[in-house]
Amino acid sequence: MKRRSLLKAGLLSIPFLSLNPLGLLANPKKMKPMSKEDFGKGFKWGVATAAYQIEGAWNEDGKGVSIWDTFSQKKKNIKDNTNGNEACDFYHKYAEDIKMVKSLNMDVFRFSVSWSRILPEGKGKINQNGIDFYHKVIDTCLAEGLEPWLTCYHWDLPQALEDEGGWTNREIIKWFANFVEILAKEYGEKVKNWMVFNEPMAFIGAGYMAGIHAPGYVSLGKFMPAVHYANLAMAEGGRTLRKIVRNGKIGSTWSCTAVEPKNPNAKKHVLAAKKADAMFNRVFIEPALGMGYPFDDLPIISRLKKYIEPGDDELIKFDFDFIGLQNYFRTVAKFSLWPPIMWVNVVPGKKLVEDKEDLTEMGWEVNPEGIYKVLKQFGAYGKEIIVTENGVAYEDVLDNGEIHDFKRIKFFEDYLKQVLKAKNEGVNITGYFIWTFMDNFEWAEGYHPRFGIVHNDFETQKRTIKDSGNWFKSFLND
């Protein structure tokens, strides 16, 4: 990497900052490095993962087929033509992986349950092997002194349910509640922290409108009912957990992005930003909070009104205990004739940076202030917030068996400073989970973007803690 880029990434300044005792003496307040204590006692630190991205064992021990199994087997859907058949083989390596999470001084292991491992057909017959597997995962966490945080749904819908319309079929509210009830009854005595969904805007938007994720539809006609039924299912899932899990803490997670207009002085771009904010940030949380859909700021979603039945205004509400906030990039929105109907487009990451080296492997711009802004924005809803995902993919180079991922460390330092700033200004933030524990199957991108603080060799399944993992280990050392 060029010296200029290193300087820009702040890497050349890190050793100087932390090793310069004169600097510390000269201005102790300014130079004091951020510490775990700054976030307060009881603040939870964790790593987040998702079933399809790590488990593998896609057809073992009675597991049914999910939409991601189907989608990833089709040529061209995944950039590097891979799939999650084996992924990180967490299904067999869970015990050593969970021990490694603990060795990094984490408090929390966040994982999701594969619906088709529990119910191969999505409903009906239960697969006891699937039930047993998650008991083992949970028991290992508890034995290690890690809190298991369970996400009920992280995008891998059973294919049998998709064959009946998936999220576009109103019946999914019942199917999902039935699945959640099984999870709550099985694991509710051991697991106290629950997330109903992972990022509904991502799986409904990318799956039914953009077509880049499973099940791969590009259809406004499917997107509209799917939005409404997912919102109803999320609230029903929350109620089901509340009924069954004693002293449970029940949340869900939302993808959040700080939206700005391309030009704040151009009315058309300001209007575009308002629409983008409503679409990306508000459609899936405000109905649950009793605020209804943002029809005024996003007229296009009036098209879902025809799917609203009497009583839905109440059924869609659920009083979540916390908001799981997930942030990766900001969104700069502009008026555009393409795509039509919404007339909003997003300025690509590469146009937002001066140097291509500043882009992440996903092509995203790094924008720490963005997490501060969304924390303030979502903080205004008045609920407890946990950052349930934040992280970055950079190309990692194995150097004599080590990975010196300084840019990733810099990313975490810069983002954490902004989280702390929002917290110090009164936003009720009580935890921060890293995306992600180890390099894994990154959906339509395949295995190339590496988000882990632990490196995985996908040929040998050998895990190697990266420098960023060790950075967290010492940062979190009591």
Q: Which is nearer to ligand BGC, 202 or 427 (CB)?
A: 202
Q: Which is nearer to ligand BGC, 49 or 231 (CB)?
A: 49
Return the number of other C-beta atoms located less than 10 Å from residue 459's C-beta: 6
DSSP SS3 for 37: helix
Q: Which is nearer to ligand BGC, 38 or 445 (CB)?
A: 445
Q: From the candidates 55, 260, 389, 442, which is the catalytic residue?
A: 389
24-45: burial string, b at 16+ Cβ within 10 Å, e else? eeeeeeeeeeeebeebeeebbb
Query: Least distance from C-beta 53 to ligand BGC, angstroms?
Result: 6
Query: Least distance from C-beta 449 to ligand BGC, angstroms?
Result: 7
Q: Which is nearer to ligand BGC, 213 or 274 (CB)?
A: 213
| Number of helical H runs and strand E runs in the chain | 18, 15
Q: Which is nearer to ligand BGC, 186 or 389 (CB)?
A: 389
| Gap between the Cα atoms of 159 and 64, Å rounded | 8
CA 366 to chain centre: 16
Question: Which residue in the shown chain puts its C-beta closest to ligand BGC?
Answer: 50
Active site residue 445: no
Closest listed residue to residue 94, CA positions, set 134, 48, 154: 134
On whether the CB atoms of residues 413 and 468 are closer than 8 A, the answer is: no
Residues that bind ligand BGC (CB under 6 A): 50, 53, 198-199, 202, 255, 326, 389, 435, 442, 451
| Gap between the Cα atoms of 337 and 340, Å rounded | 6
On whether the CB atoms of residues 110 and 47 are closer than 8 A, the answer is: yes
Helical (H) or strand (E) element with 454: strand 454-457
Query: Least distance from C-beta 326 to ligand BGC, angstroms?
Result: 6
Query: Least distance from C-beta 202 to ligand BGC, angstroms?
Result: 5
Query: Least distance from C-beta 251 to ligand BGC, angstroms?
Result: 14
Query: Least distance from C-beta 382 to ligand BGC, angstroms?
Result: 24
Q: Which is nearer to ligand BGC, 159 or 440 (CB)?
A: 440
Q: From the candidates 199, 236, 365, 442, which is the catalytic residue?
A: 199
Active site residue 357: no
| Gap between the Cα atoms of 47 and 49, Å rounded | 7
Torsion of the alpha carbons at 146, 432, 228 and 248, rounded to the nearest 10: 40
Residues identified as active-site:
199, 389
